[in-house]
Amino acid sequence: MMRTIDDLEVAGARVFVRADLNVPLDGDTITDDGRIRASVPTIAQLRERGARVVVGAHLGRPKGEVKPEYSLRPVAARLGELLGVDVRFATDTAGESARATVATLGDGEVALLENLRFEPGETSKDDAARAELADRLAGLADLYVGDGFGAVHRRHASVADLPARLPHAAGGLVFTELQVLRRLTESPQRPYAVVLGGSKVSDKLGVIDSLLGTADRLLIGGGMVFTFLAAQGHEVGGSLLEADQLDTVRGYLRRAEESGVEIVLPTDIVAADRFAADADHHVVPADAIPADRMGLDIGPESGKLFAAKLADARTAFWNGPMGVFEMEPYAAGTRAVAQGLIDSDAFTVVGGGDSAAAVRTLGFDESAFGHISTGGGASLEYLEGKDLPGITALED
C-alpha cells in the first residue's frame, strides 16, 4: 500500500519533498531543466494546499564534500521562476542555515536545501551514518514526500532512511513513474519493442536478461552494439568493445533465438577515423567496419530498419542513444529512433537519462511521447525486477 500526497493533511505542515533536481550545469547555467520542470507539479500542489515545502535534492557526485561547483543555488533560482514564487535557499543541508530557513517559512512558501550529497551521511554505506543525517533532516519536517524518481534505486539517507521517521507518501511524479513501469512489466500490449543503446553492454546486462522473457523484439544500437557485432565474429575496428562480455552476449543471442525474441542489430554504421565532430566519417556495412575506424552512430539504413520495427509496436520502451548524438554528424540514428517512436501507434516510454536528454537536445516535442521518465537507472532496475529502496520505504 502506497499513499499519495492526496492522503496527507498538509496545510500548515512542514513537508520535506525529496526531489530529483540533478540537472546538467555549465558554470551557473542550467543546460537542461527537464528534471526541475518535472518536479514542479508536486511542489506546486503542496504549496496550493498550504504546506510549508522543504525541498531536498542532490547534484552531481561531490562525495560528501562541499564543492561550490555542485551547489544547488542556480537550481533554486530556476525552481522559483517555474513556480512563480521566491524559493528560499539554505546554504547547508541540515545545519544552522537549514533550520533557520525552514523556521521562517509561512504556509505555501518553499525552501530548497543545499546539495544533500555535501553530507557524507547521505551516500554512506554505514547505516549509523545515514541514520544520523536522517534524524537531522527529520527535525526539519512533519511529513515526507518521495518524489525524486531518479534516486529511488539508491539506498541513501534522504531516500531510504528518512521516510521511516515521518508520515510519508509518494509524490505525483513517483506515482506516475510506477504506474508506467507496471504497465511495461505486468501487461504490455503486444508487440512490445525495446530499443537499447548507450555505451556499455555491462550497464544493461540485468535488463537484457529480464527483457528476453518479456519483450517481443530488442533493437540494439549505441556503443553496446559493437560487442554484439563482435560476438557474431565481425570486425569492429576501434569501436567501443567490452571483450569480457562476448560470451554473455553470445548467450543472449542463443536465448533470444530459442525463445522467439527478435534481436535487431544495425545493418550499417557511421564510422569515423577518430572521436570528433569534424573527423572524417562515412557509412560502412555493420559487418565490415574498417580496422582503423570507430563506429559512432547507426547508419541511415539502420535508422529506417529500426523505425520499421517500431511501426507496428503497441508498447515501446527506449533507453540509450544510438550514437554520439551530442555531435551532429552522429545524431541521425538517435533522431530516427525518436521519430520512429512518435510515428508508431505504440504507448511509448523514454527511459530517462541520455535518452530524455536527446529528446530535448534534438528538439522533439516531449508531449509526442507517452511518457518520458526522469530516472534512467531507476527505470532499468525496476524492469530488471530489483527492489528499489526509495520505493520500498514509501510502502506501508
Question: How far is the C-alpha of 317 from the C-alpha of 98, rounded, in Å?
Answer: 40
User: Is-catalytic flag, 3?
Assistant: no
Question: Rounded to whole angstroms, how far apart are CA atoms 9 and 29?
Answer: 37
Q: Binding site membership: which residues?
A: 20-22, 35, 58-61, 117, 154, 204, 295, 326, 352-355
Residue 377 annotated among the catalytic residues of the structure: yes
Helices and strands per DSSP (H, E), number in the chain: 14, 17
Catalytic, 150? Answer no
Catalytic residue among 121, 150, 237, 353: 353
- Which of the residues 37, 99, 165, 200 is marked catalytic? 200
Would you state the cell numbers that stand for residue 74, as one nine-digit string?
Answer: 542556480
Query: Pick the catalytic residue: 18, 35, 88, 130?
Result: 35
Q: Which of 158, 136, 131 is CA-nearest to residue 22?
A: 158
Q: Which positions make up the binding site for (2R)-3-phosphoglycerate?
A: 35, 117, 154
Beta carbons of 266 and 307 less than 8 angstroms apart: no
Residue 260 appears among annotated catalytic residues: no
- Grid cell listed for 360: 530535448
| Sequence-distant contacts of 235-238: CB under 8 A, at least 24 apart | 235/287, 235/288, 235/289, 235/290, 235/291, 236/289, 236/295, 237/271, 237/289, 237/290, 237/291, 237/292, 237/293, 237/294, 237/295, 238/291, 238/292, 238/293, 238/294
Cβ pair 349, 180 in contact under 8 A? yes
CB 192 within 8 A of CB 216: yes
**Which residues fall in the annotated binding site for substrate?**
20-22, 35, 58-61, 117, 154
Strands (E), 95-142: 110-112
Residues catalogued as catalytic: 35, 200, 353, 377
